[in-house]
Amino acid sequence: MATPTTASARPVPDTTGARDEKPNALDLQLQDTAYWNQHSTEVLASLLASSGSYTPSEIDSHIDFVQRNVIPCLGPEPARAHAPTYYLAPAPSPFEPSLNFTDASGPNPAVRFTFELLGPNGCSPSDPVAAHAATQLLPRLAAVTPGTDMRWVNAFAPALLLTDQEAADLKDKLPPWLKRVPQCAVAYDLDGGERAMKVYFYPMVKHIATGKRSEELVFDVIRRLEPLGPKFGPALDVLEDYLRGADEAAPIKVLGIDAVDPEVTKARLKVYMRRKSTAFNVVRDAVTLGGRVVDPETLKGLEVLKGIWHLLLDEPEGIADDNWNKPPNDPTNEHWGLALGIELTPGRATPQVKVYVPAWQYARSDAAMVKNMEKVFQTRNWLWGKDGRYGKMLEGAFGKHQVEMDRVLHSYISFAYTEKTGLYMTTYFAGPAEA
């Protein structure tokens, strides 16, 4: 099995030594590369190795891909970053690794990662919302990812990316509490030696810039998609009906697109929304889309989720009241309550809903969250719930001191259930802070 030292397969020159002269552009680029290799690539290499899901050659391939193609997308290191804040997680990083566990996939998790498209100039005065970074970097990433199909992505891009004038005017339109809204992110699922690309757009920024509702921006394009747009119709009708009757406004925050051939694979679209409560009655309403989706599979999933909900909220003694809404750790940050990933698949009559919990908003510490997740794994008899294996994997990737800090590495935890996969959970991690 490969070790985390795989990340050093392509060494980066040391530019951290003291110098009298001001560093030039090449020095800064090397400095940025070294920083992101330490805080992203090495973390990913450790997770790949300790997951048990990848051969040494597969790990080498994924790390080489990240060093060549992903690191340049992350922009300058945080000390010189153009972006006033990063969006994916409460961390000084645009890179978010994750682990996917399922009943169906066997004992070992799959490793995934998501990252914002910033490049060298994203969020700078020349590219204030990183729209140009997205248009430049998306085709480059697609070109180096075999099996990628950009037809759906290319249909949404002109509808959701800001024009230069919209970007210039946006600053005056942002509410005071919102420093920025991202434009685009990319994720990779790592299956053995294969990589599958997903693209995420953030319709809220277009809504703020134009005043057009995010639902209108997204749904209009879905119905006109080529290929297979009309086959989304029945599920989209169910979702739109739910939104019309929802108790609270639930604009589309994010749109996710499987960048694969939809005529060959089961490509999906995901629309992400938020509910500002963690009460399980709200969870039940969201997962069933207000009682519109009540098939046996959905109800079984709710039963499983109910059994572990208290652990996801770091309430190990249980939650007696289904109407109880746990207060977030930081109510000034918009990442609280529930995030909902509503999956739309061509030809499927109803949407499928994944629930995302912002663990950092509800956990006391990462040590507590590790214990909670190990209890979740034990309910499925997964090996990662035994002998402290899950915690040891995180310590190996992020450092023991990171896991023991008050700041929570677990950014989000997602839950889904299908007859095919059984329990389907992903744990997402904020990038490591400085020691």
Q: Is residue 198 a known part of a binding site?
A: yes
Q: How far apart are CA 314 and CA 323, in angstroms?
A: 17
Calpha distance 8→259 (Å, rounded): 30
**200 among annotated binding-site residues:** yes
Q: Summarize the chain as % helix, strand, coil (round to 5).
A: 40, 15, 40
Distance CA 34, CA 16 (A): 9
Helix/strand/coil (H, E, C) string of 155-201? HHHHHHCCCHHHHHHHCCCCCCCCCCCCCEEEEEEEECCEEEEEEEE
Name residue, tokens 């209108």: 216
Rounded Cα distance, 311 and 46, in Å? 26
- The tokens describing 182, both together, are 């991202």
Euclidean distance between CA atoms 108 and 110, whole angstroms: 7
Q: Per the annotation, does 96 bind a ligand?
A: yes
Q: According to the annotation, is 270 in a ligand binding site?
A: yes
| 195 annotated ligand binder | no
272 among annotated binding-site residues: yes
Q: Is the C-alpha dihedral spanning 285, 286, 287, 293 positive or negative?
A: positive
Cis ω for the linkage preceding 227 (within 30 of 0): yes
- The annotation status of 215 as a binding-site residue, yes or no, is no
Token pair for 212? 């057009």
* Residues in the annotated binding site for dimethylallyl diphosphate: 112, 198, 200, 268, 270, 272, 356
* Residues in the annotated binding site: 96, 112, 198, 200, 202, 268, 270, 272, 356
* Residues in the annotated binding site for L-tryptophan: 96, 202
